[in-house]
Structure 1
Amino acid sequence: MAPGIREFAEVEVPEQRIEVSKSSKLDASKPLNQNEYNKGGREEMNGWSDKTSAAGKNSNTTDDDDETPVFTMPSMHKLREAQRRVERDFRSDTVTVPTVNMIQAMIESSFQDDMYDATGDESVNRLQQRLIELTGKEAAMWALSGTMGNQICLRTHLTQPPHTVLLDYRAHVHCWETGAMPVMSQASVTQVHPKNGLHLTVDDVKKHIIADGNIHFPPTRVVSLENSLSGTILPLKDAKEISEFVRNFPVEEGEKPIAMHLDGARLFDAVAAEGVDLKDYCACFDSISICLAKGLGAPMGSVIVGSKKFIHRARLFRKMFGGGTRQPGMMAAAALSALEYTMPLLPKVHALTKRTADTLRQAGYKISLPVQTNMIVLDLEEVGIPPAAFVAYAKRAGVTVFPTGRLVFHHQITPEAAARLVEAMRLLMEDKKAGKQLENHKVTGGYM
């Protein structure tokens, strides 16, 4: 049986490392060294150690080894510098860069045409199968991005308008996907403000769901939820209650039951933080889009899971939306490597996030939402901090933030970087209280 998310959290995953020569050539034929993951070290976190150093040929090397294919890395130095840069980048968990073992996985991936080859790409198939095992769904499909994954799911569920998608008013599928839903699916939306201020409940859904039969209003055909949303959890209890109500809601004869979709971009963060079973959570939904490039740290891609019938039809829309890929094996192999490596680290990421939030509160900052996973949402307006000053003070401390006040932690953020951030914010608050003139020009970035 495939391990659940809680079992992953208890497993120490050793980072795979490679010996790199001064010429920056990577010999893919040599086995990887298995070094124990060091919880506190920046070098170990990104796949580096004292053993990852310049190394010459093995004394047993023969002339025949010269014919072994050698993969040249443009610059291992660039990778190391990139890893150091993102250790201090709080803009998003999408900014992570590959670890060394992820690059090795890409080199050792399959290189098949995922469109022409009848069985698809081997590495993509392995990734899809892993998500099937973890989620308990029948089938899975690789997609290029979270937005593509969400919109393919919605389009696959929906048929002929008029139809409506019920969702949280802050939902990514509605707010941050460039208006794709009305274009791709010709769908209206029912925006719901959760009564509890945090997440939708079954009472919210009951109040706003639109039944068949009223000529003035397009009926609800999909309820789309999100977990996590701005770092907050949609609890399993509420997902179950909403799912039971929606799946039993009466529809006109000949119509499909109302579908349950989950934007699970950070689902692994949410499930790990709540401490519930991933399969139990996924059972509440007919389709789930899981982003691999956010909390899990893959370079790109998402995986859609659902029934075999659903995924069979979804493949048509993936092709229609421009998602047919040729040699996606490298990205799939990187995603599988990221999945196995990062999942056990999520509790550590959440703990650092919460400790940082506590310190910021003590410094006088107001936090808009409960800190439950990997995000801190500061209310800068409430405490009179201009966004420009927020960005500038962080930059002087060597950390990168968006002007929105949202701080996102990921597995490559270090405790040192969090300390730098706190010190910068403490100084900013002290200067503000002392009446110092703060920068207040227009700044952009992120969702602004």
Structure 2
Amino acid sequence: MASGDNSTLFNDSLPYTVPEEYKNGVYLDYNATTPLHPEVIDTMASAMRKLWRNPSSTYSERVRDAISKARAQTSDVIGAKPEEIIFTSSGTEANNWILEAIVSWASELRGLAEGKPCIVTSDIEHDAVSKKVLALQAKGLCDVKMVSGAQGGRVNVRDVVDNCSENTCLISIMLANNETGVIQPVAEIGQELIRINIERTEKGLKPILFHTDAAQAVGKIACDVTKLNVDFLTIVGHKFYGPRIGAVYCRSEYMSILKKHPFLWGGGQERGYRPSTENTVDIVGLGQACEVVQRNLSDWASHFYKTGSYLKDSLIETFGKNLDFNFPVLSEFLLPNTFSVHFVGKEREGFKVLNQAEYLQASTGAACHSGKTTVSIVLLHSGLSKEAAKNTIRLSIGRTTTKEEIDITIKDLYQAVQKLTGIFL
């Protein structure tokens, strides 16, 4: 064995048995999506029965009040004002809208003679940001400068600042990465931007706006728009036990940008910002999920750390030098629930290991790329070697993950690698 004595963990011969309640699988893919919280289910079920009327109708005051309550609940979880929240169909829509609207706004301000506006972002962003900015660039609407995340999966504040120019209209850096769990220095970038924007104002230039995709952060770490110093922020409900809708936070002074440059065209719903009859059921569900986060974040964080420590110790004890952590888990720079690891050696590719797993349900990286055998660009851009990236699996625990589930996961991974290599570690 590569590590210590595994006799305690593997006192039964493989294959092993698991309790009946886990026969349908052990889910450790909470960064991909989460189940609805019981309170959210109750709230949405009640809305289905009682809040089905069109919010735009004069007789639907009760429905409008429920939406207003959800807006306040959503704003509270990030320290914003209710009027700064706009509900969207998803985080992808939110990201796309913010990026396109700001480019349109900046283009109008500058005029063709002054050149195209520029977006500064990173090479480790979610596709909803990276593909959108590249599409805008391909259309000739803006220039894009991408800073590297190769220093341990984290962008460097100085790199972001140094890539800003007179043409820069927006910085978009995610708060926490969905594949790696690495937390980006958003607050520090925002602080630098305050200084930069003061200098720009003195020169008669418009400020550089700041957006962060907080899809993976809400529900795992504290997110306060004032402390983060951001102008725009993306919220995604199904990442923290809510429904699959999103929301945009936009600082009050820039709300006119979104109103003047809508992403969709239609009626005047969402106070004229986003057309389409409001999805009341999901909106109140999102609001309730945000309230649940407000009440429970401290307890959840404690659970993540306790259960995550057990997972970390179990992986080290069982696999030793046969497994490496891609990033420093349980550190201040990593989401407390996220473990990006890779098995060392040939025939230990992440997707092959997971295919051999009997019960473990996890991902090789981003859930939207699950099942693909190509190497994750985000992992490569985060500084991993090609082999390490190819062999990576992402284990992300949830608020209800138990030690028993961790034990099953470890045994399942052990037998999966044993099947692939033909040897016991």
Using the size of structure 2 for normalisation, the TM-score is: 0.68
- For the pair 1:113 / 2:63, whether they are aligned, the reply is no
Match of 2:93 in 1: 148
> Please, which of 156, 178, 192 is the counterpart of residue 147 of structure 2?
192
Q: Distance in 1 between matches of 2:125 and 2:176?
A: 10
Match of 1:127 in 2: 70
Match of 1:328 in 2: 279
Match of 1:278 in 2: 224
> Please, which of 221, 233, 243 is the counterpart of residue 193 of structure 2?
243
- For the pair 1:417 / 2:410, whether they are aligned, the reply is no
Match of 1:346 in 2: 300
* Residue identity in the other structure for 1:377: S
SS at match of 2:27: coil
How far off its partner does 1:258 sit? 0.7
Q: Say if 2:133 and 2:144, in contact at 8 Å, map to a contact too.
A: no
Q: 1:313 to 1:198 in 2, by over 3 A?
A: same
Q: Distance in 2 between matches of 1:108 and 1:201?
A: 47
Larger relative contact order (CA 8 Å, sep ≥ 6): 2
* Residue identity in the other structure for 2:69: R
How far off its partner does 1:245 sit? 4.3
Q: Say if 1:149 and 1:302, in contact at 8 Å, map to a contact too.
A: yes
Q: Say if 2:354 and 2:416, in contact at 8 Å, map to a contact too.
A: no
Q: 1:236 to 1:255 in 2, by over 3 A?
A: closer
How far off its partner does 1:143 sit? 1.0
Q: Say if 2:118 and 2:168, in contact at 8 Å, map to a contact too.
A: yes
Q: Say if 2:77 and 2:290, in contact at 8 Å, map to a contact too.
A: no
Q: Distance in 2 between matches of 1:407 and 1:248?
A: 43
How far off its partner does 1:145 sit? 0.6
Q: Say if 1:153 and 1:287, in contact at 8 Å, map to a contact too.
A: yes
How far off its partner does 1:383 sit? 6.5
> Please, which of 326, 339, 343 is the counterpart of residue 368 of structure 1?
326
**How many residues were matched structurally?**
340
* Residue identity in the other structure for 1:335: L
Using the size of structure 1 for normalisation, the TM-score is: 0.65
Q: Distance in 2 between matches of 1:100 and 1:92?
A: 16
* Residue identity in the other structure for 2:394: R
Q: 1:271 to 1:92 in 2, by over 3 A?
A: closer
Q: 1:325 to 1:360 in 2, by over 3 A?
A: farther
Q: Distance in 2 between matches of 1:389 and 1:195?
A: 26
Q: Say if 2:36 and 2:238, in contact at 8 Å, map to a contact too.
A: no
Q: Say if 2:74 and 2:291, in contact at 8 Å, map to a contact too.
A: no
How far off its partner does 1:307 sit? 2.5
Q: 1:302 to 1:390 in 2, by over 3 A?
A: same
- For the pair 1:227 / 2:152, whether they are aligned, the reply is no
Q: Say if 2:43 and 2:288, in contact at 8 Å, map to a contact too.
A: yes
> Please, which of 374, 377, 386 is the counterpart of residue 340 of structure 2?
377
Match of 2:17 in 1: none
| Deviation string, structure 1 residues 335-363 (Cα, Å, up to 9, x no partner) | 22222334435311343234313322331
Q: 1:86 to 1:370 in 2, by over 3 A?
A: farther
> Please, which of 226, 235, 256 is the counterpart of residue 290 of structure 1?
235
Q: Distance in 1 between matches of 2:142 and 2:193?
A: 21
Which consecutive residues of structure 1, in runs of 5 or more, have no partner in the other structure?
1-80, 213-218, 437-448
Q: Say if 2:210 and 2:230, in contact at 8 Å, map to a contact too.
A: yes
Q: Say if 2:220 and 2:300, in contact at 8 Å, map to a contact too.
A: no
Q: Distance in 2 between matches of 1:162 and 1:252?
A: 22
- For the pair 1:166 / 2:120, whether they are aligned, the reply is yes
Q: Distance in 2 between matches of 1:184 and 1:325?
A: 27
Q: Distance in 2 between matches of 1:246 and 1:258?
A: 8
SS at match of 2:281: helix
How far off its partner does 1:301 sit? 1.4
* Residue identity in the other structure for 2:40: M
* Residue identity in the other structure for 1:257: P
Q: Distance in 1 between matches of 2:80 and 2:235?
A: 13
> Please, which of 357, 362, 375 is the counterpart of residue 401 of structure 1?
362
- For the pair 1:104 / 2:42, whether they are aligned, the reply is yes
Q: Distance in 2 between matches of 1:123 and 1:267?
A: 26
Percent of paired sites with the same residue: 14
How far off its partner does 1:252 sit? 9.9
Q: Distance in 1 between matches of 2:253 and 2:265?
A: 18
How far off its partner does 1:317 sit? 1.6
SS at match of 2:324: coil
* Residue identity in the other structure for 1:367: F
SS at match of 1:108: helix
Q: Distance in 2 between matches of 1:381 and 1:121?
A: 55
Structure 2 counterparts to residues 16-31 of structure 1, below 5 A: none
Q: Say if 1:164 and 1:187, in contact at 8 Å, map to a contact too.
A: yes
Q: 1:114 to 1:162 in 2, by over 3 A?
A: farther
Match of 2:354 in 1: 391
SS at match of 1:271: coil
SS at match of 1:369: coil
Root-mean-square deviation (Å): 3.6
Q: Say if 1:366 and 1:378, in contact at 8 Å, map to a contact too.
A: yes
| Deviation string, structure 1 residues 210-256 (Cα, Å, up to 9, x no partner) | x23xxxxxx32101111111311224652444433443453796652
Q: Distance in 1 between matches of 2:136 and 2:68?
A: 28
Q: 1:281 to 1:426 in 2, by over 3 A?
A: farther
| Deviation string, structure 1 residues 382-429 (Cα, Å, up to 9, x no partner) | 6651234311232x1x22122441222223433322221111122334
More helix by proportion, 1 or 2? 2
